[in-house]
Amino acid sequence: MSAPRPQPAAPVLALGIGCERGCPTVEIAALAEAALTEAGLAAGALAAVVSIELKRDEPAILALAAALGVPARFFTAARLLAETGRLTERSAAAFRATGCWGVAEAAALAACGADGVLIVPKRRSRRATCAVTRAAAPIDGSTLDSRGAS
C-alpha cells in the first residue's frame, strides 16, 4: 500500500490586485509572490485573483490568474466601496481613479465575504498593490460575482 498523497490546500484565499493601466506582468507577479511567500501562504490555497471591473481587461491581472491556475474575478466600484470600513487605509488617489477608497484590500475582502479576514494588508510596488484575505470556508472562485457571493 502506498503512502497517501497530500491533499491540495482548500481554496480559502483571495488575492486582491490593484494596478496602473499597463503595469508589467512581471511586477504584479513579483509583488504577489513576495506577499504569499513572506506570509507563508500556499499559492494552491488561492481561489481567485480579484480586482475592480475597470481592470477586467488588464493583461497583467489576467496573466497572473492564468499563471496561478485560478480565475480572475472583478467587482463593481460600488461593491468595493461597501468594504471601506474594513480597509487598513483609504487612498484618495484610488477614490479619484475608481470611485472606491482602495482596490486590492477591498476586492480581496469582497471575495471572502463578511467573515473573511485580511491576512496580508495592502503591499505596494511601483505601479501595483496587492492584499490577501482568508475566508471562513472554501471559496468557489468560478462562481464569485460582483456581490462577493460564491
Residue 145 banded pLDDT, cuts 50, 70, 90: low
Rounded CA separation 123/121 (Å)? 6
73 in Cβ contact with 139 (< 8 Å): no
Say which amino acid occupies 145.
D
For domain 13-136, give the CATH number: 3.30.420.180
pLDDT tens-digit map of 78-117: 999 999 999 999 999 999 999 999 999 999 999 999 999 9
pLDDT at 42 over 80: yes
pLDDT of residue 144: 76
Phi, psi angles (nearest 5°) of residue 31: -65, -45
Burial label for 97, CB within 10 Å (0-12, 13-18, 19+), is middle
Residues linked to residue 16 through DSSP beta bridges, in sequence order:
50, 131
Question: Cα 122 to the chain's mean position, in Å?
Answer: 10
pLDDT of residue 147: 46
Residue 12 banded pLDDT, cuts 50, 70, 90: very high
Locate the domains of the chain by residue range.
Answer: 13-136
46-52/72-75 β-pairing:
parallel
Sheet holding 13-19, edge to edge: 72-75, 46-52, 13-19, 128-134, 117-124
